[in-house]
């Protein structure tokens, strides 16, 4: 029997009516001849409420108990979904992470999936169960404790199950009807993509697009799991949504597939850094140890043995970065004159697998920004993306200008 994985996010199961609506979608796939594994998130707002209760009870909480509390939201949704399906005469059963079992490491609140044995669920499918409703976001550690996968972990759960069970497809139901060329709230010309390559989706997700969680896309790319992003609030046919797939399944695409952005960026510059072998490692090692996600890096030309080192990081990690650098300076590991912080910036990026075979993408991007009198502060590139830091006040203007410059309102 062919198998599908269907994942429903928090807004898709926010009320009993929405759970019933989602259950009807599952029922239709069962009627089409599929066995179905349904991955559910907690009802919208519930996880934030649970996290708030933990912080109010114990600001310096035990991460093991944090996981025990915040994982409970998915358990409720799984049980309600299974009951709803049973009322529709669809043989369904709910499963918590430890019952599958979804095995993880011991990194509570940010666990990594290590193994998903298929024996338990496959045995139940063999006995006539048609739908396994699995609580997303959670697993079990080698010590037998409940673990959680970090925010957005239900997407990762869904892709991991699709890979483990060899699912035909993994459908991600959310509050948007697919992946767009950019945020439709920024420009009305934004267009829904029919297909997008794993690499492009991974770049867009890491650069600020909120549709899919980055780890889930990484996992899908590694195991070639075909993902389909759909709206749970619209009637869908076979061509609905956006298919995230291998590059080989995309016959032709635009040079640039999308424009992503992140408002919450900060530019940090170390001035008068001693320019000597190993200085980059001495700077970025402590930042990595402190959990700072450094992105764009620029080193100026050396002048009399001194240089400036500029990098960007998420705004909520600036204090952590400051402390790591000051501690490294105090211990004598690095020597620098000062630290300049510019928190009034944003990151705008263009992404596309077509960049590999087309010259002039950077020139077109920079010309579009120049024509709008937008100054570029930092530039970073990869094989399929170009990112720039600019003043935050120009974010919307830059996104619209780049969307127009690359003709993203029309398909290839």
In the numeric block, which tokens belong to residue 233?
């609030």
Res 228: pLDDT? 94
- How do residues 253-262 score in pLDDT, each as one tens digit? 778 999 999 9
* Euclidean distance between CA atoms 58 and 52, whole angstroms: 10
If pLDDT is split at 50, 70 and 90, which confidence band does 412 have? low
Helix (H) / strand (E) element for 345: namely: strand 338-351
* Euclidean distance between CA atoms 235 and 237, whole angstroms: 7
Alpha helices in 88-152 (DSSP H): 119-126
Q: Which residues pair with 173 in a beta bridge?
A: 8, 230
Q: What residue ranges define each of the domains in the chain, with the CATH number in brackets?
A: 3-175 (3.40.1160.10), 259-405 (3.30.2130.10)
- How do residues 297-313 score in pLDDT, each as one tens digit? 988 877 778 899 999 99
Q: Which of 172-176, 269-273, 355-359 has the lowest mean pLDDT?
A: 355-359
Name the CA dihedral angle for 24, 28, 34, 39, rounded to a multiple of 10 degrees. Answer: -30
Res 236: pLDDT? 66
First to last CA, the chain: 37
- How do residues 18-45 score in pLDDT, each as one tens digit? 999 999 999 999 999 999 999 999 999 9
Distances (CA, A) of 289 to 164, 324, 404: 33, 8, 41
Strands 113-115 and 131-135, bridge-based pairing? unpaired
Binding residues: 7-10, 47, 74, 174-175, 180, 185, 210-211
Asked whether residue 380 carries a pLDDT value surpassing 80, the answer given is yes
Burial pattern 1-40, b for ≥16 Cβ within 10 A else e, equals eebbbbbbbbbbbbeeebbbbbbebbbebbeeebbbbbbb
Residue 23 Cα to chain centre, angstroms: 25
Asked whether residue 170 carries a pLDDT value surpassing 80, the answer given is yes
| Side-by-side strand order, sheet with 306-314 | 297-299, 306-314, 258-274, 338-351, 385-391, 378-382
Binding residues for ATP: 7-10, 174-175, 180, 185, 210-211
Q: CA angle at residue 65 from 60 to 69, to 5 degrees?
A: 110
What does DSSP assign to residue 301?
P
Task: Over range 238-250, report the average pLDDT.
Answer: 85
- How do residues 63-78 score in pLDDT, each as one tens digit? 999 999 999 999 999 9
In the numeric block, which tokens belong to residue 60?
């310096």
* Euclidean distance between CA atoms 147 and 1, whole angstroms: 31
Task: Over range 330-349, report the average pLDDT.
Answer: 92
- pLDDT averaged over the chain? 92
Res 238: pLDDT? 64
Res 252: pLDDT? 67
Task: Over range 374-397, report the average pLDDT.
Answer: 94
If pLDDT is split at 50, 70 and 90, which confidence band does 176 have? confident
> Is the overall model pTM greater than 0.95, yes or no?
no
Res 175: pLDDT? 83
Res 237: pLDDT? 65
Asked whether residue 221 carries a pLDDT value surpassing 80, the answer given is yes
Res 279: pLDDT? 87
Res 50: pLDDT? 96
Query: Percent of the chain at pLDDT above 70?
Result: 98
Strands 92-95 and 131-135, bridge-based pairing? parallel
- Cβ pair 167, 34 in contact under 8 A: no
In the numeric block, which tokens belong to residue 218?
């990484």
If pLDDT is split at 50, 70 and 90, which confidence band does 275 have? confident
Dump strand ranges (E) for 180-257.
Answer: 195-197, 227-231, 242-245
Nearest one of 38, 48, 6 to 151, comparing CA atoms: 48
Task: Write the CB contacts of 301 (distance below 8 Å, at least 6 apart in sequence).
Answer: 307
Binding residues for substrate: 47, 74
3-state SS class at 14: coil
Task: Over range 231-242, report the average pLDDT.
Answer: 78
If pLDDT is split at 50, 70 and 90, which confidence band does 247 have? confident
Task: Over range 86-90, report the average pLDDT.
Answer: 98
Alpha helices in 297-360 (DSSP H): 318-330
Asked whether residue 100 carries a pLDDT value surpassing 70, the answer given is yes
Between 1 and 401, where is the model more confident? 401
């Amino acid at each position: 029997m062919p198998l599908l994985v269907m994942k429903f996010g928090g807004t898709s199961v926010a009320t009993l009516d929405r759970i019933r609506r989602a259950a009807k979608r599952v029922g239709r796939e069962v009627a089409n001849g599929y066995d179905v594994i349904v991955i559910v998130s907690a009802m919208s707002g519930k996880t934030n409420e649970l996290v708030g209760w933990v912080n109010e009870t114990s600001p310096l909480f035990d991460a093991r108990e944090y996981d025990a509390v915040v994982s409970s939201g998915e358990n409720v949704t799984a049980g309600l979904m299974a009951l709803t399906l049973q009322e529709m005469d669809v043989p369904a059963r709910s499963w918590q992470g430890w019952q599958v079992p979804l095995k993880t490491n011991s990194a509570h609140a940010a666990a990594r999936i290590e193994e998903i044995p298929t024996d338990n669920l496959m045995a139940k499918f063999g006995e006539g169960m048609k739908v396994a409703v699995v609580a997303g976001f959670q697993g079990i550690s080698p010590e037998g404790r409940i673990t959680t996968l970090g925010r957005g972990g239900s997407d990762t759960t869904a892709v991991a199950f699709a890979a483990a069970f060899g699912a035909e497809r993994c459908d991600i139901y959310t509050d948007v009807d697919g992946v767009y060329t950019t945020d439709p709230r920024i420009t009305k010309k934004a267009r829904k993509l029919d297909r997008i390559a794993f690499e492009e989706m991974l770049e867009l997700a890491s650069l600020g697009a909120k549709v899919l969680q980055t780890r889930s896309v990484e996992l899908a790319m590694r195991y070639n799991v075909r993902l389909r992003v759909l709206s749970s609030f619209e009637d869908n046919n076979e061509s609905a949504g956006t298919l995230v797939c291998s590059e080989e399944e995309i016959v032709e695409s635009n040079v640039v597939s999308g424009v992503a952005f992140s408002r919450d960026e900060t530019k940090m510059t170390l001035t008068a850094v001693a320019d000597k072998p190993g200085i980059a490692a001495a700077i970025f090692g402590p930042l990595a140890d402190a959990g700072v996600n450094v992105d764009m890096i620029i080193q100026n030309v050396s002048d009399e043995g001194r240089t400036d080192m500029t990098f960007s990081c998420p705004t909520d990690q600036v204090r952590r970065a400051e402390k790591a650098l000051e501690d490294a300076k105090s211990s004598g590991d690095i020597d620098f004159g000062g630290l300049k912080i510019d928190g009034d910036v944003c990151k705008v990026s263009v992404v596309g697998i077509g960049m590999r075979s087309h010259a002039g993408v950077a020139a077109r991007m920079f010309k579009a920004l120049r024509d709008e009198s937008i100054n570029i502060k930092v530039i970073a590139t990869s094989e399929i993306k170009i990112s720039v830091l600019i003043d935050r006040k120009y974010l919307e203007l830059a996104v619209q200008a780049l969307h127009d410059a690359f003709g993203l309102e029309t398909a290839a």
